Amino acid sequence: MFGLVDCNNFYVSCERVFQPRLEGKPVVVLSNNDGCIISRSAEAKALGLQMGDPYFQVKPLLLQHNVTVLSSNYPLYGDMSRRVMWYLGQVTPAVEIYSIDEAFLDLHGLERFVVSRLDTFARTVRANLLARTGIPTCVGIAPTKTLAKLANRLAKKRPELGGVCYLDTEEKRCWALEQVAVEDVWGIGRQYAQKLYSAGITTAAELAGCSDGFARKHLGGVVGARLVRELQGTPCHGLAPSEDGTLARRSLCCSRTFGKPLSAFPDIMGAVTAFASRAGEKLRRQGDAAHFMTVFLSKSRYGVEPPPYSCSTVLTLPVATNDTLELVRYARLALKRLWQADNRYTKAGVVLDGLEPAGQTQLTLFEAGPVSEKRVRLMAELDALNRRYGKGTVRLATALTPPGQRQAPWEGQAQWRTPAYTTRLEDLLLVG
Amino acid sequence: MRNVELIPVTATQTPFLLPLFSCRISAGFPSPASDHLEELFDLNRLLLRHPDATYLVRVSGESMRDAEIHEGDLLAVDKQMEADHNHIVVAVVEGECTVKRLVCEDGTWWLKPENPAYKPWEIHDAGDVKIWGVVTHVLHEIVPGKLSALLQTRD
Check residue B149 and give its pLDDT. Answer: 78
In a domain? residue B31:
yes
- CB–CB contacts below 8 A, A to B: 66
Q: What is the pLDDT of residue A245?
A: 47
Does residue A268 surpass a pLDDT of 60?
A: yes
> What's the pLDDT at A416?
86
- Give yes or no: residues B42 and B55 share one domain: no
Q: Which candidate in B50, B96, B97, B114 is best for mutational testing of the A interface (most A CBs within 10 A)?
A: B97
Q: Is the pLDDT of residue A370 over 70?
A: no
Q: Are residues B65 and B26 in the same domain?
A: no
A84 versus B12: which is more confidently predicted?
A84
Number of structural domains found in chain B = 2
In a domain? residue B2: no
H helix runs in A163-303, sequence order: 170-179, 190-198, 204-208, 212-218, 222-232, 265-285
CA-based nearest residue in chain A for residue B64: A432
Does residue B7 form part of some domain? no
B29 lies in the same domain as B60: no
Interchain pair A132, B75: CB under 8 A: no
Average pLDDT (A249-273) is 87
Query: Residue A149 in 3-state DSSP?
Result: helix
In this predicted structure, what is the pLDDT of residue B49? 80
User: Residues of B numbered 93-132 whose beta carbons fall under 8 angstroms of chain A's beta carbons: which are they?
Assistant: 94-99, 130, 132
Between CA A381 and CA A390, with CA A384 as vertex, the angle to 5 degrees is 130
Cβ A78 vs Cβ A60: under 8 Å: no
Residue B152: predicted pLDDT: 65
CB within 8 Å of chain B, chain A residues 67-106: 83, 86-87
Which positions ≥6 away from A333 have C-beta within 8 Å?
A315
Quote the mean pLDDT of chain B.
Answer: 81
Q: What is the mean pLDDT of residues B57-66?
A: 92
Do B31 and B85 lie in one domain? The reply is no
- The pLDDT, as a whole number, for residue A88 is 93
Tell me, what's the pLDDT at A349?
Answer: 92
B5 domain residue, yes or no = no
> Other CB atoms closer than 10 Å to residue A210's CB: what's the count?
21
Are residues B107 and B42 part of one domain? no
Give the largest Cα separation in chain A, rounded.
Answer: 68
Residue B124 covered by a domain = yes
Higher pLDDT among residues A243 and A357, named by residue: A357
DSSP conformational letter for A54: B
pLDDT at B16 over 80: no
Residues of B whose CB is below 8 A from A22: 95
> Mutating which of B73, B75, B79 best tests the A interface, going by the most A Cβ atoms within 10 A?
B79
**B71 and B26 in one domain?**
no
Is B21 found in the same domain as B68?
no
User: Residue A59: which region, alpha, beta or left (left: phi > 0; alpha: psi -120 to 50)?
Assistant: alpha
Same-domain pairing of B19 and B78: no
Q: Which of A67-81, A154-168, A233-247 has the lowest mean pLDDT?
A: A233-247
Check pLDDT > 50 for residue A192. Answer: yes
| Mean pLDDT along residues A214-231 | 90
Residue A122 near residue A172 (C-beta atoms within 8 A): no
Shared domain for B63 and B130, answered yes or no, is: yes
The catalytic residue positions of B are: 63, 100
CA angle A64/A70/A75 to nearest 5° reads 170
The partner residue sitting opposite B97, judged by closest CB among A87, A426, A431, is A431
- Report the pLDDT averaged over residues A242-256: 68
> Where in the sequence is the domain holding B132, given as residue range(s)?
51-154
By percentage, how much of chain A surpasses pLDDT 90? 54
Write the residue in B94, B95, B98 that is nearest to A431 by C-beta: B98
* Alpha-carbon span A376 to A284, nearest angstrom: 10
* pLDDT digit string, tens, across residues A18-50: 999 999 999 999 988 888 999 999 999 999 999
Name the pTM for this structure: 0.79
State whether B16 and B28 are in the same domain.
Answer: yes
Say which DSSP state B143 is in: S
What is the rounded average pLDDT for all residues in chain A? 88
ipTM of the predicted assembly exceeds 0.85 = no
B6 occurs within a structural domain: no
| Close Cβ partners of B80 (under 8 Å, ≥ 6 residues apart) | A128, A131, A132, B50, B53
Is B94 part of any domain?
A: yes
Any B CB within 8 A of A321 CB: no
Q: How far apart are CA A262 and CA A357, in angstroms?
A: 36
Q: Confirm whether B104 is domain-assigned.
A: yes
Say whether both B39 and B69 belong to one domain: no
CA distance A396 to chain B (A): 30
Question: Are B38 and B106 within one domain?
Answer: no
**CA atoms of B75 and B71, how far apart (whole Å):** 11
> B52 in contact with A at a CB cutoff of 8 Å?
yes
Using the Cβ of A124 and the Cβ atoms of chain B, whether some distance falls under 8 Å is answered with: no
Residue A201 in this model has a pLDDT that exceeds 50: yes
Higher pLDDT, A306 or A130: A130
Write the CATH number for B120.
2.10.109.10
pLDDT digits (tens, 9 = 90+) for A136-148: 999 999 999 999 9
